[in-house]
């Protein structure tokens, strides 16, 4: 029985590893200048997009990225107030204004979301967090919700994801805590064993998270966050990621 159990465990490990490798991953190199997106395919990284040297008033870095349902890539530097799009290798400013745009995300309905957070100065505490939405039906920007830093441990720097209209945010330091801020009161969902710069929900309720140092993790059961897999380990650190199905 023990040998059978070991064989089953090995088969499951190979199956899940193969499933992870079958995906492609876009990685946002948050440190590259003037800004770079890397594709991870078949266990190897390759540069996919490099920002032009002349980018006007927008800071030339790519700290966060997501994809719209029509295929356009959306990104933010995390250090200015613009939401940018890439289409056919060219950039266009999709939105400008409000707070510093920290991360961008897309829900299944095609709506585009981004987080807004000002950088505290002179030792002031972190300000409240904002989540904005660009509605696909009207193309109008709206403030979806505001939440207090006190509800999320005074440690939210913009990491979030949206799943079926519910907004989840993640703290940054030590062991990342993920909260559902769509509920009142705010609900703690889980505490990860890593400090995550970005996270995304995947199929079946799994969670992907990156540590900003070059490792992407997958958590299949959030009630058991200490059971996880390393999906990839990149020689280039990345601040955010996008999980995509492989191209045929």
In a domain, 127, yes or no: yes
DSSP strands (E only) in 172-245: 177-180, 187-191, 198-201, 207-210, 215-219, 229-233, 240-244
In a domain, 148, yes or no: yes
pLDDT at site 6: 33
Q: With cut-offs at 50, 70 and 90, classify the pLDDT of residue 138.
A: confident
233/247 Cα distance (integer angstroms)? 21
Mean per-residue pLDDT of the chain: 88
What's the 3-state SS for 23-61?
A: CEEEEEECCCCCCEEEEEECCEEEEEEECCCCCCCCCCC
In a domain, 163, yes or no: yes
In a domain, 2, yes or no: no
- Segment 141-153 mean pLDDT: 94
- Segment 62-90 mean pLDDT: 94
pLDDT at site 247: 54
> Does residue 101 contact residue 75 with C-beta atoms inside 8 Å?
no
Does the pLDDT at position 123 exceed 70?
A: yes
> Does residue 36 contact residue 52 with C-beta atoms inside 8 Å?
no
Domain count within the chain? 1
Task: Say what the pTM is.
Answer: 0.88
In a domain, 189, yes or no: yes
Q: Which of 158, 231, 162, 172 has the alpha carbon at shortest distance from 200?
A: 162
User: What's the CATH code of the domain at 185?
Assistant: 2.120.10.30
In a domain, 234, yes or no: yes
In a domain, 165, yes or no: yes
pLDDT at site 109: 83
Q: With cut-offs at 50, 70 and 90, classify the pLDDT of residue 187.
A: very high
Q: What residue numbers bound the domain in which 173 lies?
A: 23-244
pLDDT in tens, 193-212: 999 999 999 988 899 999 99
In a domain, 209, yes or no: yes
pLDDT in tens, 24-53: 999 999 889 999 999 999 889 999 999 987
pLDDT at site 145: 93
pLDDT at site 9: 35
- Structure tokens given for 196: 């995550």
- Structure tokens given for 216: 């992407």
- Segment 8-17 mean pLDDT: 34
């Amino acid at each position: 029985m023990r040998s059978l159990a070991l064989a089953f465990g090995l088969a499951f490990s190979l199956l899940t590893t193969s499933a992870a490798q079958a995906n492609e991953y876009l990685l946002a190199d948050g440190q590259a200048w003037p800004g770079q997106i890397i594709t991870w395919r078949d266990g190897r990284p390759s540069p996919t997009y490099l920002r032009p040297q002349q980018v006007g008033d927008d800071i030339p870095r790519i700290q966060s990225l997501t994809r719209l349902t029509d295929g356009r890539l959306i990104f933010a530097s995390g250090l200015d107030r613009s939401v940018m799009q890439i289409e056919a290798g060219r950039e266009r400013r999709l939105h400008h204004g409000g707070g510093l745009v920290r991360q961008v995300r897309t829900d299944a309905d095609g709506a585009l979301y981004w987080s807004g957070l000002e950088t505290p100065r002179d030792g002031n505490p972190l300000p409240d967090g904002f989540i904005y939405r660009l509605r696909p039906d009207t193309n109008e920007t709206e403030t979806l919700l505001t939440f207090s830093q006190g509800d999320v441990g005074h440690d939210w720097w913009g990491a979030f994801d949206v799943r079926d209209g519910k907004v989840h945010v993640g703290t940054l330091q030590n062991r990342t805590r993920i909260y559902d801020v769509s509920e009142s009161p705010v609900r703690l969902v889980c505490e990860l064993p890593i400090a995550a710069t970005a996270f995304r929900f995947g199929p079946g309720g799994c969670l992907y998270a990156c540590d900003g140092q070059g490792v992407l993790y997958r958590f299949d059961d959030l009630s058991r966050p200490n059971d996880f897999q390393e999906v990839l380990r990149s020689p280039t650190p990345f601040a955010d990621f996008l999980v995509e199905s492989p191209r045929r």
